[in-house]
């Protein structure tokens, strides 16, 4: 009698999906984008004091935050774009430091650099054998006695 394996639960399917892409790096890039976008588009109310940041840097902040979200999304959807998206996210995080409210108060830049590094360092462990990096072996030479 054949016994079928039980179907995978949602948690197991998510764990498998998450293992096939740089999920941690993408989460850090998303948090970075949120911190980059937050200061320029929120209004804080402290007692009777209303704090609003709306300057010309809001356009660059919007561009940097949206581009960071794009990098995070592309890594999740297509893991093979990790080098391009990770390099772009690293560049965006470093440009955000002077251009976007001190990089989202420093936290956005820090999370962007860490997320980009995690994305660039990720390797696919889907079960495919790694390519040999050693030099190819030469066939053994046979000595003949004359």
CA distance 111 to 62: 17
| pLDDT of amino acid 71 | 96
Does residue 43 sit within a domain? yes
What are the beta bridge partners of residue 44? 51
| pLDDT of amino acid 85 | 96
pLDDT in tens, the chain (146 residues): 567 788 889 999 999 989 999 999 999 999 999 998 887 777 667 777 766 666 666 778 889 999 999 999 999 999 999 999 999 999 999 999 888 777 778 899 999 999 999 999 999 876 555 555 555 566 666 666 65
C-alpha distances (whole Å) from 29 to each of 82, 88, 137 are 12, 11, 43
Does residue 98 sit within a domain? yes
CA distance 18 to 13: 8
Which residues have C-beta within 8 Å of that of residue 118, sequence separation ≥ 6?
22, 24, 25, 28
| pLDDT of amino acid 81 | 93
Domain of residue 89, residue span: 18-121
Which residues have C-beta within 8 Å of that of residue 5, sequence separation ≥ 6?
none
Does residue 32 sit within a domain? yes
Does residue 53 sit within a domain? yes
| DSSP assigned state of 80 | G
Does residue 65 sit within a domain? yes
| pLDDT of amino acid 102 | 79
Does residue 40 sit within a domain? yes
Does residue 140 sit within a domain? no
Sign, CA dihedral 89-94-95-98, equals positive
Does residue 134 sit within a domain? no
Number of folded domains that form the chain: 1
């Amino acid at each position: 009698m054949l016994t079928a394996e039980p179907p995978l639960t949602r948690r197991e399917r998510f764990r498998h999906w998450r293992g096939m892409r740089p999920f941690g790096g993408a989460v850090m890039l998303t948090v970075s984008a949120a911190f980059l976008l937050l200061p320029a588009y929120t209004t804080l109310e402290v007692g009777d004091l209303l704090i609003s940041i709306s300057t010309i840097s809001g356009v660059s902040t919007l561009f940097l935050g949206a581009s960071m979200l794009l990098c995070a999304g592309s890594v999740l959807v297509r893991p093979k774009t990790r080098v391009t998206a990770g390099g772009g996210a690293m560049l965006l995080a470093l440009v955000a430091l002077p251009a976007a409210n001190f990089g989202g108060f420093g936290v956005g830049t820090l999370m962007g650099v860490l997320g980009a590094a995690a994305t660039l360092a990720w390797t696919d462990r889907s079960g495919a054998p790694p390519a040999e990096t050693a030099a190819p072996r030469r066939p053994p030479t046979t000595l003949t006695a004359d």
